[in-house]
Structure 1
Amino acid sequence: MVRPHSQSFVYDEHDVTTMLDDISFIRESGAAGIVLGTLTDDAKVDTKTLEVLLQAAGSMNVTYHRAFDEIADQHEALQVLSAYPQINRILTSAGPRSALQSVEEMKALVHASAHTQITILAGAGLTVPGLAAFVEHTGVKEVHFGSALRKDGQYLRPIEPEKVQAAAKIIASFER
């Protein structure tokens, strides 16, 4: 993830320089892609900064991260982001709530992204027991898990392989 700090998704010149250095290092390391997100002060996609970062990323795949969840008009933002061929995913909970609380919004984003190169990557608050119903209702094809796949649901605990396998099996059961 290319993110110079956790204060916000609005970046100044120093932040952008740091991000460019990080992207350079990541590219030189042979990574297939990066995760990033840029916003303006009024919570819209900062296309000026985004274009600078995408140029540095070259041919790497790009996931636009949960900065997307701070944008009021996500459908407009989806159209803006779809103009950049490198961006092939948006990691989102479809707004400020958890993905499980934003089922209808997620479904609408999946539908809106259908004729773009962007896949909606659902994340935040997903659980293995609720995954099948969530996928069935929203149509998402990819999910992102955090603590739900870790022992006792704690970020600092080890990942439990059986939970990963269970989630993967659920997603695979929806592949067409």
Structure 2
Amino acid sequence: MTVEVCVTSLESALLAQQAGAQRIELCAELSLGGITPSIGLISTVREAIQIPVHVLIRPRSGDFTYSEQEFTIMLRDIESCRSQGVDGIVAGVLERDMTVDWERTSELLHHSEGMSFTFHRAFDWVPDPAGTFLRLQELGVHTLLTSGQAQTAEKGIGVLQELLNLSSGCVVMPGGGINARNASLFEENGFAALHLSASRQVVNTPKTHPLIMRSSNFPPENHVLQTDPEILRKVIESVN
């Protein structure tokens, strides 16, 4: 089973590789759901690790309905990823009614030609998961990252299983709340890939400054998210 780990730093990418991950998804600001990482981080990670690197293309946090300017940024970010030898692109775009923006999805796929393309968890907002999955598959999407339209993939196992039964080439990759306790559930049900962050908060400096720069919804500013190799090893051991 392919275990893909979502990471936000070079250190986490190295830890994920050492722990046995088969692939990473590289992003920034995981606490916001992930946004596109810097070109410096992309190039450094690509040079430092040997496993495939997929990069999240998401110009901002929030929803997945983008302006023309934001979409132009996405296309340019894909070209930057290509220049760095990135193995895959992770993206998703929706219309205002939460259906897939098919025209823009086709354009993203075209610009990603030669790289793997994953349609990410924007899928979990669409009103017709089965019909949408079939159309994404026909369009040429290689992988679908989804929690089965539930808060966690474990709770969404019914929808995930339905999608797996419809798959004829597009890999259905469960993601959301994957851990050592439940990872084997997906292996036992026939899924070929899993997505998780396997992260923990690490104290980076001794204390916070009284002047807070972050939103109250985010971790303390003296904490950073980092891959926990022990968590990841336990997941990999449970499915392989």
TM-score bracket, shorter-length normalisation: 0.7 to 0.9
Instruction: Tell me how far apart the structure 2 counterparts of residues 107 and 152 of structure 1 sit (CA, whole Å).
Output: 32
CA contact (8 A) 1:109 1:120 kept: yes
Paired position in structure 2 for 1:168: 236
Larger CA Rg, structure 1 vs 2: 2
Query: Is it true that 1:111 corresponds to 2:165 in the alignment?
Result: yes
Instruction: Tell me how far apart the structure 2 counterparts of residues 23 and 171 of structure 1 sit (CA, whole Å).
Output: 32
Between the two proteins, what is the percent identity of the paired residues? 28
CA contact (8 A) 1:142 1:171 kept: no
Query: Is it true that 1:150 corresponds to 2:150 in the alignment?
Result: no
Residue from 182, 187, 191 that aligns with 1:130? 182
Instruction: Tell me how far apart the structure 1 counterparts of residues 119 and 200 of structure 2 sit (CA, whole Å).
Output: 28
Matching residue's letter, 1:88: H
| Higher relative contact order structure (alpha carbons within 8 Å, sequence separation ≥ 6) | 2
Matching residue's letter, 2:100: V
Structure richer in strand, relative to its length: 2
Matches within 5 A, 1:32-51: 32-51=87-106
CA contact (8 A) 1:33 1:60 kept: yes
Structure richer in helix, relative to its length: 1
Instruction: Tell me how far apart the structure 2 counterparts of residues 151 and 15 of structure 1 sit (CA, whole Å).
Output: 31
Paired position in structure 1 for 2:113: 58
Ranges in structure 1 where 5+ consecutive residues have no aligned partner: none
Deviating more after overlay: 126-135 vs 15-24: 126-135
Cα pair distance change 1:13/1:151, threshold 3 Å:
closer
CA contact (8 A) 1:70 1:96 kept: no
CA contact (8 A) 2:201 2:224 kept: no
Post-superposition offset of 1:64? 0.3
Cα pair distance change 1:133/1:41, threshold 3 Å:
same
Post-superposition offset of 1:54? 1.6
Q: Give TM-score scaled by structure 1 length.
A: 0.86
Deviations 1:146-171 (A, max 9, x none): 2xx23479893432223222211222
Instruction: Tell me how far apart the structure 1 counterparts of residues 163 and 226 of structure 2 sit (CA, whole Å).
Output: 32
Paired position in structure 1 for 2:122: 67
Deviations 1:104-140 (A, max 9, x none): 1111111111x2x21111111122112213432x322
Ranges in structure 2 where 5+ consecutive residues have no aligned partner: 1-55, 203-218
What is the Cα-based RMSD across aligned positions, in Å?
1.9
Query: Is it true that 1:89 corresponds to 2:143 in the alignment?
Result: yes
